[in-house]
Structure 1
């Protein structure tokens, strides 16, 4: 994957003068950050043998909750808008955590496939976001809020810095903690993990909560970029997030994958999409290319697993 990525970068450097520029590279990082934060959380979920399709709806709900909460609190005179938006962010994180807990509880309690649970929850949460926002964008936000999604520190986009922080945190958790080893064990063989003393249900619930918290963080970033919250945000993000994780080498069968691989997958997908955009490739063709990449990544991972077991 790294070799293919390098080849794309080399080719694009000669084909497009605007590709290898500081502004374009920072733009790729900025665009990667929105789905990238979720991709690292999704890596934990998929390694644990599950999946979450409701992350896009959480992104939408987060923006709506932040805007509505801050607006209502500021209008009531309880606190200033600057303080109210912080409360809104905290409330959105709490709700995201509860959504993840609910998803995890259902799949561990009733053995319902996480695909079905999160597909249903995705529609429910989108509906809630649309109802409470009455179908209109929520724009009651302080001016400083825009810094989170569109600001820069030493010319580096703030979302990119946040992306790297999330990557570092989950990388450490998955590679250097007992919980990280438990996630791999649960995804590889849940029954063996249970017999070895690992609380399988707890591990899966925590993973489902983690990806929802990452989605809430991404929801804050996207609502900050456009200075509004809308129930339309986050739609279709599931494909980009899961694509990055799978292209990075994480197996949909669970137990196999690396956070670093997801980071490479994010860069690969970000560069590829940017390259196709610069070359004016038809948007529908881009979907075909991404779909082929996912299929190829799944086949490669499956073949590798079959060889290991044989």
Structure 2
């Protein structure tokens, strides 16, 4: 009887209302873009839009992984420090081994090490959750501090910028008129979207985040799923950190400061529930673009940096409230 009543209620809703409930952030993003086109000088220029895409690429690569982590019921606060560490590892290998094995070989070796370190740290965070019942909030908060310290120990507290010719292309170059990091963003989006929507692992992530005990009783290795999502995010963080090092031309322990908050904000704005079990990779892409447009638009409008922080905080709170309201009326 309840199902019939709900179906009748749904059929009585107007098409615009149903569309609003289904795509709230997409509609808001479209409204923001129209507003910025009218109010922010130069926002709609091709050069500026490409700059927005380049800016959000490094953020989005990590955010797609973070979406899986949060859907599984966990969180990772160390991604900003992890990105800095990855850049420092690549820079250290390029500085120390360029003469012995060649500049690009040293960079590739450093990247593979950074990728392995990122995945291992994430995976071990998940295992700590299993072995000692330490919340990932605490473990990654500890890593948040420790990884920046390690990054500065690797570089001696100074930027390392001994990279081979052409390395700057990864973070700052263009391919067919599109910033190269945007291609990495698109590939990551496609891969994570496929993983979460069309594979058994993706379904397991949703099941674990929705009801961990029910998932365990159904035969899912819940701790392995959580550890793999954290490991995957660590690997994506290493990719993003390498691109950042390429973009700024150096590996330094001070890069990506505060990035973890922007990553989590993009995931939340995209509709992923902090309680787990619900979220979309597509929604996170919308959240990433939303943050990028807002930040770029406020800069073009000469809004004070301090007010930008206030506005972004309000946006995050507003997104959470909007999702709560829409969840109740669905």
Please report the TM-score for the alignment, with normalisation by the length of structure 1: 0.96
CA distance in structure 2 between the aligned counterparts of 1:151 and 1:274, rounded to whole angstroms: 20
CA distance in structure 2 between the aligned counterparts of 1:304 and 1:193, rounded to whole angstroms: 27
Matches within 5 A, 1:1-310: 1-75=25-99, 77=100, 79-305=101-327
Q: Contact 2:62/2:237 (CA < 8 Å) preserved in 1?
A: yes
| Deviation (angstroms), 1:304 | 4.6
Cα pair distance change 1:64/1:245, threshold 3 Å: same
| Deviation (angstroms), 1:73 | 1.5
Cα pair distance change 1:178/1:97, threshold 3 Å: same
Long gaps (5+) in structure 1? none
CA distance in structure 2 between the aligned counterparts of 1:304 and 1:225, rounded to whole angstroms: 39
Classify the secondary structure of the residue corresponding to 2:272.
coil
Aligned residues: 306
| Deviation (angstroms), 1:298 | 2.0
CA-atom RMSD, angstroms? Answer: 1.2
More displaced stretch, 3-12 vs 223-232: 3-12
Deviations 1:79-122 (A, max 9, x none): 11121111111111111111111211111221111111100011
CA distance in structure 2 between the aligned counterparts of 1:302 and 1:209, rounded to whole angstroms: 30
Aligned equivalent of 2:19 = none
Q: Contact 2:41/2:301 (CA < 8 Å) preserved in 1?
A: no
Please report the TM-score for the alignment, with normalisation by the length of structure 2: 0.90
Classify the secondary structure of the residue corresponding to 2:167.
helix
| Deviation (angstroms), 1:307 | 6.0
CA distance in structure 1 between the aligned counterparts of 2:325 and 2:141, rounded to whole angstroms: 28
Long gaps (5+) in structure 2? 1-24
Deviations 1:106-161 (A, max 9, x none): 11221111111100011111111111211000111102111110111111000011
CA distance in structure 1 between the aligned counterparts of 2:51 and 2:90, rounded to whole angstroms: 25
Classify the secondary structure of the residue corresponding to 1:52.
coil
Please tell me whether Structure 1 or Structure 2 has the larger radius of gyration of its CA atoms.
2
CA distance in structure 2 between the aligned counterparts of 1:37 and 1:250, rounded to whole angstroms: 16
Deviations 1:1-58 (A, max 9, x none): 2222112211222223411110010000000001110000000000001100000111
More displaced stretch, 64-73 vs 247-256: 64-73
Deviations 1:180-209 (A, max 9, x none): 000000000000000001100000000000
CA distance in structure 2 between the aligned counterparts of 1:126 and 1:200, rounded to whole angstroms: 30
